[in-house]
Amino acid sequence: MDTRQQALLYLTYLLVYSDGEFDDRERHAIKHICGVEGISDDDYQGFLIGCQDLTEREIFEKGLSLVEECDEDAKTAVFVWLYKLSEADGTVHAKEVRFLLYSLRRASINFDKVKETASQTPDFPSI
């Protein structure tokens, strides 16, 4: 996996668990993201196993460190997926908003650019 794919996995992991729920719509959305981004099921499963012994803080720092290695377009792409994923379960929770805003600020990414790009990105397929 490349750096952008790894960053995406770390940060999506945190986002989907930030509200304390990981429902079928979010699972479906992550499967879709992995398909579009060329992340194999084996790579995704290996990533999940690798996260088992990490704290939330370690996962966050690893994800942000990887994002910082990306160029601006790749950074924006990661955050577009996160933005879209925050809406996947039909409700944007306060913890998801805080996570997104804090992550955007730490990564020096412009929220308006992410929101604009996300509006031009197709929604996740229905389950």
Q: Range with the lowest mean pLDDT among 79-83, 90-94, 96-100, 106-110?
A: 90-94
Would you state the pLDDT for residue 127? 67
Confidence of residue 92 (pLDDT cuts 50, 70, 90): confident
Nearest-CA neighbor of 122 among 88, 96, 76?
A: 88
Averaged over 3-9, what is the pLDDT? 97
> pLDDT tens digits for 40-57?
999 999 999 999 999 999
Q: Is pLDDT larger for residue 22 or for residue 35?
A: 35
Mean pLDDT value across the chain: 90
Measured from the Cβ of residue 94, the count of other Cβ atoms closer than 10 Å reads 9
Return the structure tokens found at 124: 């996740």
Tokens of 34: 């992995």
Q: CATH homologous superfamily of domain 3-119?
A: TerB-like (1.10.3680.10)
38 burial class (0-12, 13-18, 19+ CB within 10 angstroms)? exposed
For the chain, the structural domain boundaries read: 3-119
What pLDDT is recorded for position 123? 83
- Report percent pLDDT > 90 for the chain: 70
> What digits encode the pLDDT tens for the residues 96-112?
888 899 999 999 999 99
